Amino acid sequence: MASLTEDPVLGISDIKDREEENEKGKTQVVKTEEVGQSERDMASATGNSIHRSGSRPQLDLSKAAIQGNFEERDPTILLPNQSDDLSHLALDIGGSLIKLVYFSRHEDQSIDDKRKKTLKERLGISNGNRRSYPILGGRLHFVKFETNKINECLDFIYSKQLHRGGMDARIWNPDAPTNENAVIKATGGGAYKFADLFKERLGVSLDKEDEMNCLVSGANFLLKAIRHEAFTHMEGHKEFVQIDQNELFPYLLVNIGSGVSMIKVDGDGKFQRISGTNVGGGTYWGLGRLLTKCKSFDELLELSQLGDNRTIDMLVGDIYGGMDYSKIGLSASTIASSFGKAISENKELEDYSPEDISLSLLRMISYNIGQISYLNALRFGLKRIFFGGFFIRGHAYTMDTISFAVQFWSKGDAQAMFLRHEGFLGALGAFMSYEKHGLDDLMVHHLVERFPMGAPYTGGKIHGPPLGDLNEKISWMEKFVRKGTEITAPVPMAPPGTTGLGGFEVPSSKGGTLRSDASALNIGVLHLVPTLEVFPLLADPKTYEPNTIDLSDHGELEYWFTVLSEHLPDLVDKAVASEGGTDDAKRRGDAFARAFSAHLARLMEEPAAYGKLGLANLLELREECLREFQFVDAYRSIKQRENEASLAVLADLLMELDSMTEETRLLTLIEGVLAANIFDWGSRACVDLYHKGTIIEIYRMSRNKMQRPWRVDDFDVFKERMLGSGDKKPRPHKRALLFVDNSGADVILGMLPLARELLRRGTEVVLVANSLPALNDVTAMELPEIVAEAAKHCDILRRAAEAGGLLVDAMVSTLDDSKGNSSSVPLMVVENGCGSPCIDLRQVSSELAAAAKEADLIILEGMGRALHTNFNARFKCDALKLAMVKNQRLAEKLIKGNIYSCVCRYEPLS
């Protein structure tokens, strides 16, 4: 029997003495997997730069300074002063579950881009703008295993070579020697229990980290760095909570593992475990197994969804003849005594339904945890309580029960909040304990969460073990395409006879809001992109919301899902054609269609499954899914054809514009942008139009129909700013950022002539385009060539393009001999940092952020950038939003107009 001085709470290992013993014998180990030198060579190389093969950067181990190639958009891992590669992996080995957090590098290669070099000189972007300390640039993956299946976990680690620095390190340098003294960070009781097994199977030592410290460190990182990490859950409704970093502390962290710990967190590294209870997840699983004979925790949760606790629990109404006890605020349905009815009924265990037992047990433990948590929060005056740990597992009924308890006992004064990465707090904290990786210095705009079909089990170059032979190196996507696996959910679940890491099956959960997410953690792969920044011209970044469509409305959600589904066959046709229509492309196209449809089905079932959902998120998810199935640019051939057709008539258009008066020309230019914006392959209305005429015929027809007033018509205000009134001529804008949209007529006959007009007036112009392809949108990689071709027909464009570094290698000198005229204002091209038809200005490329600092005019063009997102955005400078609406519902909702309505919204700064 424990004495009063002993802590009876489960889930907290008494590890202090063992930590001290381990600390005495701990050795600082240098790993050599990636570097490709022996330990002896590495030791002697300390203080010297290590030159890696190929395009890998040079890392200075002594000065912790970045000395490599800075031309990469998304740099690979940057770890100067990092002597090992094993910060790729950290574990939290609990009594029930093993949680892994592992890192993989970005695979993007450096490109020798002279445009970027000139741009950096023009915009004053220097390598010194980089952080002076090491920081990761890659992906974080989150994986779980049941502890009693630890061999599967070891197989997984081995198959991805995570214990040797990851498969990417082995691919770069396959001849690197094996390090026999490798160390992996780990926390939880299993870090001691299974230390010998890890050494025997993988040849690695586990470096034990303090459990409480890891939990707090992981929670603090998630709450500060993930935009939609925390949420409330009441009566089946999930609502995300945006937390101001300046108001985060103090809070109560309740970690529900086998037992429960309650931690008062006052800041980074400042916390105190104030209480706990031994009635936790282990209690539920242990009693549940004894009472129901369930074989797994998840099976027990599934049973609870089909149960009726009223057959076992004694309710207030049972005591008071079906009446409420209103005097003290208790309803008839309130549980007066968990399992209370079993006292008076002459029944044996087998007479009770396992489903009812499971639900009663779940409610008993969840209510108890919620009440004790609130009482401890009350004790310290804490209003916010965050619940984590794999007991919750995204289970709606569990969260509702805890939330109800907190709300009931606090009378609504306190709030229960949950974390999407709930079970990975300890593993993430252990990962962060590696020195000098810079993870704790990342900001929310540096992180992009994506949801590949294999998340959270896949990621990186090798996507986990295949269905059969663990030695068969095959990607998850290849498995999927070859086997034609039926998809019903975007998270793999364990079919009989597999490792639990591949294959799909129908979730057995039922019951609407009672749906168990025990096997679907609803977390993706976390991309760490240190080069992303907040757009500096946002009037108020804290209140900025890019999405204008509210998908929390079920009818709205269903409508847009239908639109995306109907567009899917046409998209697949274009994607397959872009790859030459091969049999392999057809298989991948079919796989993509089923994969994206599965994402839609999952989100239709639970819209908040992947975080706060907006239309921009849906469109980006579609593009990411295309890329996952190796369709790099589905509209490549279409864009090329449209660009050629538009460039063929550009000279005639420019001559026509030059013959007009200034005022007529400005109106015609805006009309041209609106008319050209009709070419959008993301729109069913546009697809139908393509069957009725050529691109030029449609453009001219559209421009001829530009009858004013438009549905949103601020042209006269814009005209006065540009041309002035009477004899008063306004000063020209210093620099304009033009967010371009589609290839072909849209950019060539619409936006380029408008850019030319601004250049003519002495305004620097920056064309802002996608970093990656999306539908038929033009990209920053494609624009310089388009500008070079257009410059052959226009002296203004040629001189500006030369000044902006766009014609470094161009063969342009057809109009005059004034090449290199330095007096011309520059025309530049920057990438926006995304690969979607929409743009979230909270995460843009560093070069766009640099270009914005001198800008005093923003022009957002197209439905995705000016309507779906940013229609309500406010800026620190003049803003013009131009678009033709090609969706009837969007027209009605946003501007109370009709399809093909025009938007010319001008918002001057003053």
Q: Indicate the SS3 state at residue 828.
A: strand
Residue with the bigger pLDDT between 322 and 663: it is 663
Cα–Cα distances in Å, from 879 out to 540, 721, 856, 858?
A: 15, 12, 8, 5
Task: Give the span between the Cα atoms of 617 and 889, in whole angstroms.
Answer: 18
**Of the spans 14-18, 684-688, 746-750, which averages the highest pLDDT?**
746-750
Write the single-letter amino acid at 708.
R
CATH code 3.30.420.40 for 244-312+352-418:
yes
* CA nearest to 124, candidates 897, 888, 854: 854
**Cβ–Cβ < 8 Å for 712, 904:** yes
| Range with the poorest average pLDDT among 120-134, 397-411, 436-450, 872-886 | 120-134
**Cβ–Cβ < 8 Å for 600, 561:** yes
Q: Which helix (H) or strand (E) holds 879?
A: strand 878-884
Task: Give the span between the Cα atoms of 263 and 373, in whole angstroms.
Answer: 10
682 has pLDDT over 80? no
Which pLDDT band holds residue 530 (cuts at 50, 70, 90)?
A: confident
| Range with the poorest average pLDDT among 39-53, 353-367, 398-412, 462-476 | 39-53
**Cβ–Cβ < 8 Å for 204, 184:** yes
- The DSSP code for 872 is T
**Cβ–Cβ < 8 Å for 862, 775:** no
346 has pLDDT over 80? yes
What pLDDT does 104 receive?
Answer: 81
Residue with the bigger pLDDT between 404 and 36: it is 404
Helix residue ranges per DSSP H, 4-67: 16-25, 39-45
Buried b (16+ CB within 10 A) or exposed e, 831-845: bbbbbbbbbbbbbbb
Write the single-letter amino acid at 287.
L
- The DSSP code for 748 is I
Residue 554: phi, psi to the nearest 5? Answer: -60, -40
171 has pLDDT over 80? no
Task: Give the span between the Cα atoms of 575 and 580, in whole angstroms.
Answer: 9
**Of the spans 67-71, 319-323, 858-862, which averages the highest pLDDT?**
858-862
**Cβ–Cβ < 8 Å for 689, 789:** no
Q: Indicate the SS3 state at residue 894.
A: helix
- Token pair in block for residue 22: 């381990």
Q: Check whether the bond before 456 is cis (ω within 30° of 0).
A: yes
- Phi-psi category of 579—alpha, beta or left, where left has phi over 0 and alpha has psi -120 to 50? alpha
* CA nearest to 777, candidates 622, 560, 891: 622
Task: Give the span between the Cα atoms of 373 and 371, in whole angstroms.
Answer: 5
Q: Indicate the SS3 state at residue 253.
A: strand
Kindly report the CATH class assigned to 59-106+135-167+180-229+420-438.
alpha beta
Handedness of CA 684, 686, 689, 695 (dihedral sign): negative
**Cβ–Cβ < 8 Å for 760, 796:** yes
What pLDDT does 565 receive?
Answer: 93
**Cβ–Cβ < 8 Å for 120, 424:** no
- CATH 3.40.50.10880-classified regions of the chain: 647-808+822-907
Residue with the bigger pLDDT between 418 and 130: it is 418
Calculate mean pLDDT across residues 799-822: 62
254-300, pLDDT tens digit by residue?
999 889 999 999 999 999 999 999 999 999 999 999 999 998 888 89
245-264, pLDDT tens digit by residue?
888 999 999 999 889 999 99
| Range with the poorest average pLDDT among 127-131, 136-140, 292-296, 467-471 | 467-471
- Phi-psi category of 322—alpha, beta or left, where left has phi over 0 and alpha has psi -120 to 50? left
Which pLDDT band holds residue 28 (cuts at 50, 70, 90)?
A: very low
Which pLDDT band holds residue 714 (cuts at 50, 70, 90)?
A: very high
- Token pair in block for residue 757: 């007009």
CA torsion, ordered 891, 896, 898, 902, to nearest 10 deg: -70
303 burial (CB, 10 Å; 0-12 / 13-18 / 19+) is buried
**Cβ–Cβ < 8 Å for 416, 380:** no
Q: Indicate the SS3 state at residue 842.
A: coil
The answer for residues whose C-beta is within 8 angstroms of residue 842's C-beta and 6 or more apart is 227, 444, 445, 534, 535, 538, 541, 544, 546
Residue with the bigger pLDDT between 765 and 61: it is 765
What pLDDT does 497 receive?
Answer: 28
801 has pLDDT over 90? yes
Residue 133: phi, psi to the nearest 5? Answer: -120, 160
Helix residue ranges per DSSP H, 844-907: 846-852, 863, 888-890
Task: Give the span between the Cα atoms of 418 and 403, in whole angstroms.
Answer: 9
624 has pLDDT over 60? yes
Calculate mean pLDDT across residues 121-135: 54
- CATH 3.30.420.40-classified regions of the chain: 244-312+352-418
**Of the spans 78-87, 207-216, 430-439, 549-558, which averages the highest pLDDT?**
207-216
185-202, pLDDT tens digit by residue?
999 999 999 999 999 999
**Cβ–Cβ < 8 Å for 233, 399:** yes
Calculate mean pLDDT across residues 17-31: 36
E strand residue ranges, 160-214? 182-187, 204-208
Look up the CATH number of domain 647-808+822-907: 3.40.50.10880
What pLDDT does 683 receive?
Answer: 52
200-233, pLDDT tens digit by residue?
999 999 999 999 999 999 999 999 988 889 999 9
Overall residue count recorded for the chain in this entry: 910
What pLDDT does 36 receive?
Answer: 32
Calculate mean pLDDT across residues 732-736: 97
Task: Give the span between the Cα atoms of 903 and 712, in whole angstroms.
Answer: 5
The answer for residues whose C-beta is within 8 angstroms of residue 688's C-beta and 6 or more apart is none
811 has pLDDT over 90? no
What pLDDT does 339 receive?
Answer: 94
| Range with the poorest average pLDDT among 69-73, 338-342, 393-397 | 69-73
Strand 415-419, strand 384-388: pairing: parallel
CA torsion, ordered 117, 118, 124, 128, to nearest 10 deg: 10
What pLDDT does 514 receive?
Answer: 30
Task: Give the span between the Cα atoms of 291 and 552, in whole angstroms.
Answer: 40
CA angle 713, 715, 719 (to 5 degrees): 165
Calculate mean pLDDT across residues 501-520: 30
- CATH 3.30.420.510-classified regions of the chain: 59-106+135-167+180-229+420-438
High-pLDDT (> 70) share of the chain, %: 74
Percent composition of the chain: helix, strand, coil (DSSP 3-state, to 5): 40, 15, 45
Predicted model pTM = 0.80
**Cβ–Cβ < 8 Å for 487, 506:** no
856 has pLDDT over 80? yes
